[in-house]
Amino acid sequence: MTSELRRRAKTVNFGVIYGISGFGLSKTMNVSMAEATEYINKFFEKYSRVKTYYESILEKARQTGYVETFFGRRRYIN
């Protein structure tokens, strides 16, 4: 694995985990939005449980108006 490939993989992995959009990833990686969106889709295909978890957190936030950190601190959303 080259250092460039490793850098790109880290950008996708951490970007997706932290909620980056196709637009944001395309700007960060200097690729088309279609290509960036495909990277995100492929990530969620490979790691489907991450997508399930992510969606459950979003739904809970919509219902309660907040998310909770690992240590129990509430972060309220508008």
pLDDT (tens digit, 9 = 90+) per residue, 48-65? 999 999 999 999 999 999
0.85 exceeded by pTM: no
Identify the pLDDT of residue 78: 80
One-letter amino acid for residue 24 of the chain: G
Residue spans per domain, the chain: 1-46, 48-78
Max CA distance (Å), the chain:
44
Identify the pLDDT of residue 1: 83
16 CB neighbour count, 10 Å cutoff:
20
Dump pLDDT digits (tens) for 12-27: 999 999 999 999 999 9
